[in-house]
Amino acid sequence: MNVDPQPETAAQELVIQEINHVGVVTLRRPNAHNALTHAMVLGLTERLSQWKNDPAIRAVVIRGAGDRAFCAGGDIRALYQSYHDRTPLYRDFFVDEYLLDYMLHQYPKPCVAVMDGLVMGGGMGIAQGAALRVVTSRSQIAMPETAIGLFPDVGASYFLAKMPFELGLYLGITGVTLNAADALFAGLADTFAEGERLYDLDGLLSAITWTQEPLADLRSAIRTGHRADSGRPSLEGLMPAIQRHFDPARSVGEVIDSLDEERDPRYVEWASTTAEILRQRSPLMMCVTIEQLLRGRQAELADCFRMELGMVYRAFDDGDVIEGIRALLIDKDKRPRWRAATLDEVTQPMVSRFFDSPWSREEHPLRDLA
């Protein structure tokens, strides 16, 4: 087993191993729930690029240090500070993060994402590009961006659009957290494994006898059960209500009104809770998210990333993300002053501006994505 902690690349934030022809990356910021720094993104990209062309490497595994998180997103405090300091980090980070996520979607060798613990935002960007997405009894999965005045990015235009639209919209604008069973039901994970078994992941990988089907070999080594072992998904029982309330023809305001009118005793508590969640989210970014997901249903993966990069640049300059980070993570007063205080103040030009790319196709930072 070769171990290379890569201190010069990611300041001890990545641990690189090669175990029985498997390239293993451990995201190592456990005290920050393994949130991604720019150095981690660049270091992971560099290593994946090397392994892609290394005939000795048959597969890749990405995991998080500790048992609390795979990756809870990007280091948004650093992005917030960069914006105020007017340094390029808050723009460069997203370009490089999206390039990494796109690489994973296109990676020629099987990649496993061990989605143990928290998996949010940037962690979902990494995980959803993997060929085998493994959840555990500790998995807590979400795209909670509207809570901080952003939209579900890192390719969510693509992966949320692959599920029934009403479900993708529900997950995208509420940011609710899913357990393993619900992630499997929603198509955001592939298989279930007991977290305790994964403590010996190195041993499991070492014991693989490789065949001509490396993805099947990995699945067999890691999985300890089937989907049923993760429990019954709550989303399954909620789907009739989700499909009724989150109609794509409805505005966000109409969705909230519909939830307020729910009278079925099976769904009343869920509807009330969901309506309250939506009242706390950024009105502008919820409206932007609906338009984003509608466009994503008609777009290829590369175009989704190109669209989202333009959107995220707008979100810093014309949206609510800086205020959302301030209110929830910096000052922690939990009283964000959204650009549009109510849904009635959101206009179509405000929404449409997020989809006006700052670049021509030839000048786009992600122009080379196929």
Active-site residue, selected from the candidate residues 73, 122, 125, 149: 122
195 is catalytic: no
Active-site residue, selected from the candidate residues 97, 101, 145, 182: 145
323 is catalytic: no
Active-site residue, selected from the candidate residues 153, 166, 190, 320: 153
Active-site residue, selected from the candidate residues 74, 121, 123, 149: 74
Per-residue three-class SS string for the chain: CEEECCHHHHCCCEEEEEECCEEEEEECCHHHCCCECHHHHHHHHHHHHHHHCCCCCCEEEEEECCCCEEECCECHHHHHHHHHHCCCHHHHHHHHHHHHHHHHHCCCCCEEEEECCEEECHHHHHHCCCCEEEECCCCEEECCHHHHCCCCCCCHHHHCCCCCHHHHHHHHHHCCCECHHHHHHHCCCCEECCCCHHHHHHHHHHCCCCCCCHHHHHHHHHCCCCHHHHCCCHHHHHHHHHHHHCCCCCCHHHHHHHHHCCCCCCCHHHHHHHHHHHHHCCHHHHHHHHHHHHHHCCCCHHHHHHHHHHHHHHHHHHCCHHHHHHHHHHCCCCCCCCCCCCHHHCCHHHHHHHHCCCCCCCCCCCCCCC
122 is catalytic: yes
247 is catalytic: no
Q: Which amino acids are annotated catalytic? A: 74, 122, 145, 153
